Chains A and B, each alone.
Chain A
Amino acid sequence: MLKQSGHAKELGSRPRKANFIVQVLQNRYIYLALAPGLALLLLFEWYPAISAFYNSFFLWNGGKLHSFVGWENYRYLMQDRAFIASLRNLTIFLVFRIIFQTLFPFLAAELIVNLKSERWTNWWKVIFVFPMVVPNILMYLIWRFIYNPQVGVLNKTLELFGLGDLGRAWLSDPVTALWALSFVRFPWLPTLQFLIILGGLQAISKEVIESAKLDGANWFARIRFIDLPMVRGQLILSMLLTAIFLTQRFDLFLVLTDGGPGYSTMVPALHLYQSAFNFLEFGYASAIGVIMFIIMLALTVLNLRLRKGDL
């Protein structure tokens, strides 16, 4: 199956062994063109990835101390209180975030597709994509201010409604810390998920909706029996993407609580970071990385299958 020109046309469709070297030489400019990109990937992506697997079997401080310990790192992981707490926290955080990062984009998208005014449809889309321009870290810092015990927006709002007694140091109270982090950016419409779901809803044909209206279906019936089944794929995709993104990102946790108080806001990625860079346990950090890789691989495979329409 050849569709290109140039040297390539001179090749047979399947290179024979004997000709292999000749063909490689004939195509040397092609390999030369690929070389810079390939070299970068081999050195800066493949080598670290393989190194992570290899070093997960070592006790390693990043320097001279480098001794083989077999499965010891993994065995220790199973009884590491911080790691177990981190899995639990991540699960709670993910479940909550997946719900709100899918539900709100869906609600907003529902409202938008019901508008008659095309102008406003576009304007609202732009308005909700706009918060993108604020660097993520800035949103986290702003939310740190919202949770500030003395002058934070949250406590001030409670005071405004005469509920000042409920105010507390949201981020340093072990009872509320994880919930405070889960609520960061609430009720944010994450741009990507919002666009995916909106795209799905906008693709539903007008005729289907019109005929449902003629049959007397109200808005809620239409959501239940037309919209939800039609954008099911987009909703699942949006949930999976949220899970994949949030499992590996930990800057929110690092900046707002650093895993504390105690282990109450520890997540696996942050545990990895601290093991490596605070405690110089690079072998152990690699083992956490491998476990996370396996979890995310499962999610990614699910995502890819979904895109192919197998689900």
Chain B
Amino acid sequence: MRLFKNLKHDWPFQIGLLFFGIITFYPLILVLITSVKTNTQFYQQFWLPTLPFHLSNYVVAFERVYRFILNSLFYSGTVIVGVAVLSSICGFVFARYQFPAKRFLFLLFISLIMVPGVLTLAPKFILIRDLKMLNQPLGLIIPWLSAGLVLSTWLMRSYFESLSQDLFDAAYIDGASDPQIFLWLAIPLARPMLATVAITSLIATWNDLIWPLVTISDRKWMPLAQGLVQFSSSFETDWGPLFAGYVIASVPLLIIFVFAMKQFISGLTSGAVKA
């Protein structure tokens, strides 16, 4: 087994890492174990799994959280598409054209990186209220879209700037128009960066609790993070179904993580730019 080849040298380090791994994952494993227990089993045996497994907890929990998951998938999906489209257009324009007031317009985009979310929280709420978007999906989607646009436009611009001019010249010589070049040359080239932008928006919207808490009060429209807080207070001491719900809530990102690990990692790292 290649996995064990270097163990002779590596074992002290492996033990250290194992220690970190266990403390990091233990709470998650405990949640997994508890999610198939009844309350009686939970109070009798706290630490270890007990038989029989009560998978019915998952049925109970699923009915309570699936709506939130669907909502979140819809919100994040819409925001991702919106951010990807707008940021690639704006990024492309800023990277590859000269036009009057370019510097000023770019500054309008980029200086927002300095503006923290807490500063705009209250005024944004007032704005959304006055636009009659409270308690509506649009009241979540549009502010998330505009907030995501700042960093992603910056990322897309840097990416398009790094592409070689020869590519574009060749396309012009072949008679391609500007929109054609954007759609058929720039966008396919930018796929890795688009994936990064998508993951960044996904993580940001998926984890945001505060903005939904402020704007959404109707259960029917709650995204996952907010729904979970609701859900956890309604199952206060019913530990099995509660934890089953927690497990279900982690599945969507888990699936995406398995298929797009690399983009996950690069999406995260690029988040470092946004302070």
Could you tell me which A residues sit within 8 Å of B by CB distance? 2-8, 11, 15, 20, 23-24, 27, 29-31, 33-34, 36-38, 40-49, 51-52, 55, 62, 104, 107-108, 111-112, 114-117, 119-120, 124, 126-139, 141-144, 146, 151, 153, 156, 186-189, 191-192, 195-196, 199, 237, 241, 244, 247-248, 250-251, 254-255, 269, 272-273, 276-277, 282, 285-286, 289-290, 292-293, 296-297, 299-300, 303-304
Contacts and interface: CB of A to CB of B under 8 A. Distances in A.
Interface in B13-70: 13-14, 16-17, 20-21, 23-25, 27-28, 30-31, 42-43, 46-47
A44 B142 contact: yes
Interface string B121-140: 11111110100000000000
B116 A248 contact: yes
Contacts of B143: 44
A128 B108 contact: no
Interface in B221-275: 224-225, 228-229, 232, 239, 246, 249-250, 253-254, 256-257, 261, 264-265, 268-269, 271-272, 275
Given A11-B99, A131-B28, 18 more contacts: A3-B96, A3-B165, A11-B98, A27-B99, A34-B90, A40-B149, A111-B16, A117-B6, A124-B21, A129-B265, A129-B268, A132-B257, A133-B253, A156-B47, A188-B24, A269-B118, A296-B116, A299-B275
Contacts of B239: 151
Contacts of A111: 13, 16-17, 20
In this complex, the member of A30, A133, A286 whose beta carbon has the largest number of chain B beta carbons within 10 angstroms is A133
A41 B103 CA distance: 16
Contacts of A124: 17, 21
B108 to A, nearest CB: 7
A215 to B, nearest CB: 20
22 contacts: A15-B100, A33-B93, A37-B109, A41-B108, A45-B115, A49-B120, A115-B14, A116-B6, A117-B2, A117-B6, A119-B2, A119-B3, A124-B17, A124-B21, A138-B246, A142-B31, A151-B239, A156-B46, A156-B47, A186-B23, A276-B125, A289-B120
A241 B250 contact: no
A5 B168 contact: yes
A203 B3 CA distance: 24
B24 A128 contact: yes
A142 B243 CA distance: 9
A4 to B, nearest CB: 5
Contacts of B249: 135, 138
Given A116-B9, A188-B24, A130 B257 contact: yes
Interface residues of B, number: 96
Contacts of B264: 129, 132
Contact of A141 (B121, B172, B232): B232
A136 to B, nearest CB: 5
B20 A120 contact: no
Contacts of B99: 8, 11, 23-24, 27, 30-31
Nearest to B168: A5
Contacts of A255: 209, 229
A143 B27 contact: yes
